[in-house]
Amino acid sequence: MENKREILSVKDLNKSYDAFKLKNVSLTLQAGSIMGFIGRNGAGKTTTLKSMVNLVHSDTGSVEFFGMDIKTHESEIKQRISFAFGGVDYYLQKKLGTITNVYKRFYDQWDEKAYEDYLKQFELNSDKNVKELSQGMRVKYGLALALSHHAEILILDEPTSGLDPVSRDEILNIFTDVVDSKQASILFSTHITSDLDKCADEITYIKNGEILVSEEKDSFVDSYRLVEGSMDQLTEALKSIIIGCHERRGEFSGLIKSKDCENAQDIKCSPADLESIMIHIERRA
């Protein structure tokens, strides 16, 4: 898979509900990368992901996979991608083998050998029912299905939610292995920022239905600094640039843009991480 090739392009997606709006959502995914789609609950992550695969019909905007519009090439695109809500949560009473036997018939590129290998690698038993699998194993089963039909893009809605830290780490390691071995690119939503610290190349941050930023993770993290100091250091000038200021017992803390650091001299500035960036941005009214 050639790097830096645009394989997914979302442009100006809009969708209005009574109580929620998706506003001009745009993002692009490059081949060979992991994009973390981050935002708090209800920010519009799932609606955006569903719009990408036509489960939700956007009012305006376009979604292109491999240069093809999802509205006109849906089946062709779905042969080459995989979409999952967390882990496999369908047909819980059925054996994995039964589900796979149905699923594989739909994919031209199905690779039985690869599937068998993934079952072994993920320690999945095809005689078990889905309901007998832990949440982490369900995610792995979904990945086994997706990778066995050689999906080039995996779109996963909160695959790590509800998993224990060890299972989360396992899943994230699988993500990096998949991308590093150039099998697929991954776009996954999460509100667990440490997931992204571990494996994301790019970050897309959505708030109230609007994309705040979509860029490389490192440059995004580097564009903010945490500041803290005593209340007498909190000048009006500083107040105007500080994000999510929190005041307690004569002290303040907050976030500023790195470029504003020169306006915050004599204040303790420290590198920010994704979690603190998210918390401060969300704290801002």
Partner 1 sequence: MKNLLYKEFKLALHPTCYIFLLMAFMLLIPNYPYYVAFFYQTLGIFFIFVGGQANNDVYFTTLLPVPKRATVKARFGVIIIMELAQIAVSIPFAILRNSLNPLENQAGMEANIALFGLVLMMYAIFNMVFLPMVYKTAFKIGLPYVFACSAMAIFVGVAELSIQLIPALKTTLDTLDLRYLPQQLAVLIFGILVFLLVTTLAYLKSATRFEKIDL
Judged by CB, which is closer to partner 1: 135, or 193?
Answer: 135
The total of other beta-carbon atoms located within 10 Å of residue 231's CB is: 11
| Nearest CA-CA partner of 145 in 114, 170, 174 | 114
- Least distance (Å) from partner 1 to the CB of residue 110? 11
Binding mask 95-134 for partner 1 (x = CB under 8 A): ---xx-xxx-xxx---------------------------
* Both tokens assigned to 267: 């204040």
Q: Is 248 in the site for partner 1 (CB under 8 A)?
A: no
| Binding to partner 1, residues 202-241 (CB under 8 A) | none
**Tokens 């719009």, located at residue:** 51
| Binding to partner 1, residues 43-102 (CB under 8 A) | 50, 53, 55-57, 74-79, 83-85, 89-94, 98-99, 101-102
| Nearest CA-CA partner of 5 in 48, 63, 67 | 67
- Least distance (Å) from partner 1 to the CB of residue 204? 21
| Nearest CA-CA partner of 7 in 47, 25, 34 | 34
Judged by CB, which is closer to partner 1: 138, or 225?
Answer: 138
| Binding to partner 1, residues 129-168 (CB under 8 A) | none
Per-residue CA distances from 148 to 81, 83, 114, 117, 154 (Å): 11, 14, 6, 9, 12
> How far apart, in whole angstroms, are the C-alpha atoms of residue 238 and residue 132?
55
- Least distance (Å) from partner 1 to the CB of residue 17? 9
Sites of contact with partner 1 (CB under 8 A): 50, 53, 55-57, 74-79, 83-85, 89-94, 98-99, 101-103, 105-107
